[in-house]
Amino acid sequence: MDNIFYQRVEALRALMRENHWDIVIINGSDPHASEYPANRWKQVEWLSGFTGEAGDIVVTENHAGLWTDTRYFIQANKQLAGTGIVLHKMRVPEQVPIPQWIASLGMDEPCIAIDGLCETMGSVRELRESVPGAVIFPVPDLLGGLWENRPSVPSSPIITLGEDLVGRSRESKLSWLRKWLVMQKADAILLSALDDIAWMLNVRGSDVEYNPVVISYLLVTLEDAQWFVRKDAFSEPDSDTQDSFQELQADGIQIRDYSDIHFALESLKESGVDVLCLDPATTNVSLREAVDAGERIPLTLEAASPVSAQKAVKNETEIAGMREAHLEDGLVMVQFLYWLSTRAGQVNEWEASEYLHSLRARISGFRGESFETISAYGPSAALPHYSTPRVGSALIEPRGLYLCDSGGQYLFGTTDITRTVPMGPCTALEREDYTLVLRGHIDLAMAVFPRGTAGCHIDALAREPLWQAKRNFGHGTGHGVGFFLNDHEGPQELRQNFNSVPLEPGMILSDEPGIYREGMHGIRHENVLLIRSAGDNEFGSWLCFETLTLCHYDTSCLELSLLTQAEKDWLNAYNARVCRELSPRLPAEVAAWLRDKTRPV
């Protein structure tokens, strides 16, 4: 076959035969367990052509499969055509995860090769438990010999954020982390997750598209902190990055080269570290091997990094910044939707996304989108993570539904908003789906729940209106949102998968139920919510949500008979608030349009 991805899989099989590997696993992450890897580590895309944000590949002598979830089934079927790679569906009742699938092959002591830099300790442990006789070979940069002109490890300018922006100094954060180490009876912790490191050091960069992070590792001991980062690209003495390095060094942070991490881990014991904390969910196998390669090996304590939970609860400065970000972003969104309402039949999906970008770029403090904008009309929106093509995108016609999922990165916060809007007459099914999804969104936003509740306990609130109509959506209902950091942030989430992390005041989550009909339409309504205290009584402490997003919901295609009075009251109050807070800062014609759009139902 002349399909380039088929040829790449065959080249990998030749490498497998040469090294006597029975199975190769290529995952979609990077050495830092990132959800969104830099181009250097987009190995799944290079091997298969699949561009979704979640996907892993397994190759044997006679089978190649891609494992991905419900968000990407339609996309995967299209992109895998002709590659010889078969789609394996996840997040469905009949799912068979990779370790269990390999076990089902019944191989006797299979030789499994993995990329040691991109597989975590936790994933390898699961593989060993599922396939007890397997011989696992961690091979750093496994595809390196096949991937010609592979992108290099990225290196972008670095900035530091002051306490006035983030509300807490790096010295304070390091002091807190060292107290945690003392409580664990440990001497050091290695941080691999890029957003954890950015938060700890109050630094930001742009090494990963849409995520303001820096490719690096951070090793914190009771006495010092070493930041392993690419510094060779910043040789100019007067650069902002050099100023940032000097600021960090003045605060006691040692700046070391990114490539030194393995040597540093091999020599830990000699530097007085007897007990090292590693997070098995984010530490790659290659790093663990480096620890074990030292002449005097420290005791390894496996524990979830405390940083992600600490980062998830925003302080008052961060909350104030997020409110400002959503106010500014709301002004952009209303002006965008006004502009779009006058151009049905004249612009396509890509042109709409470009205009939205141009509006956000005018905001002081804008640092780019928080993810790739999904600008999708009609059938395009049936792909939950549709990638809008620059060439050949669909015309936005004066009928049916248009979906736009977008967000901005600002020095003072991160936004994520989805609006589905009618562009003209809608079918009865479009109106019904639109209303049911909005009902689910509102029901979750109105929730009051006891402290200690996890997101999985209340996920059903957003699904109940759809379930009553025997409809559903395959993705999670909500994810954590960072502060001028990753748009997707844990450990909290709203989804059906069991996650025991309790929701806490100060956490920020999205609320985004949806419905998708292949070849017809897709609908999603999304706001960002802040968890707040709702008071105490004899039954305990109670929590609720405050909606941060400020952009009206179009009521013109609602089936009002499907809404309860409480849902109508919430919708009217929200739209009135949007109009009240945004109108004074909008051009006169846009403000008049918004007043009309927010009339009570």
Q: Where are the alpha helices (DSSP H) in 30-90?
A: 43-48, 73-79
pLDDT of residue 295: 72
The stretch 361-388 carries a mean pLDDT of 95
What values do phi and psi take at 153, rounded to 5?
-65, 125
Please state, in angstroms and rounded to a whole number, the distance separating the CA atoms of residues 187 and 184: 9
At 1, is the pLDDT very low, low, confident or very high (cuts 50, 70, 90)?
low
Residue 239 has pLDDT above 70, yes or no: no
Look up residue 403 and give its two tokens. 């979906």
pLDDT in tens, 494-537: 999 888 999 999 999 999 999 999 999 999 999 999 999 999 99
The answer to whether 600 touches 572, Cβ cutoff 8 Å, is: yes
Q: What is the dihedral sign for C-alpha 531, 443, 327, 526?
A: positive
pLDDT of residue 242: 80
* pTM for this predicted structure: 0.93
Residue 377 has pLDDT above 70, yes or no: yes
Please state, in angstroms and rounded to a whole number, the distance separating the CA atoms of residues 449 and 509: 15
pLDDT in tens, 329-341: 999 999 999 999 9
The answer to whether 560 touches 576, Cβ cutoff 8 Å, is: no
Distances in Å between the Cα of 563 and the Cα atoms of 67, 221, 570 are: 38, 56, 11
What values do phi and psi take at 518, rounded to 5?
-55, 130
What values do phi and psi take at 569, rounded to 5?
-65, -45
At 61, is the pLDDT very low, low, confident or very high (cuts 50, 70, 90)?
very high
Look up residue 455 and give its two tokens. 């997101």
Look up residue 592 and give its two tokens. 């008049």
Of 413, 489, 414, which Cα lies nearest the Cα of 193? 489
Q: What is the dihedral sign for C-alpha 521, 527, 531, 534?
A: negative
Please state, in angstroms and rounded to a whole number, the distance separating the CA atoms of residues 380 and 375: 9
Distances in Å between the Cα of 105 and the Cα atoms of 25, 86, 511 are: 15, 16, 40
At 214, is the pLDDT very low, low, confident or very high (cuts 50, 70, 90)?
very high
The answer to whether 469 touches 436, Cβ cutoff 8 Å, is: yes
What values do phi and psi take at 18, rounded to 5?
-60, -35
Please state, in angstroms and rounded to a whole number, the distance separating the CA atoms of residues 14 and 137: 17
Please state, in angstroms and rounded to a whole number, the distance separating the CA atoms of residues 270 and 158: 31
The stretch 345-371 carries a mean pLDDT of 97
The stretch 358-383 carries a mean pLDDT of 96
Widest CA span in the chain: 73
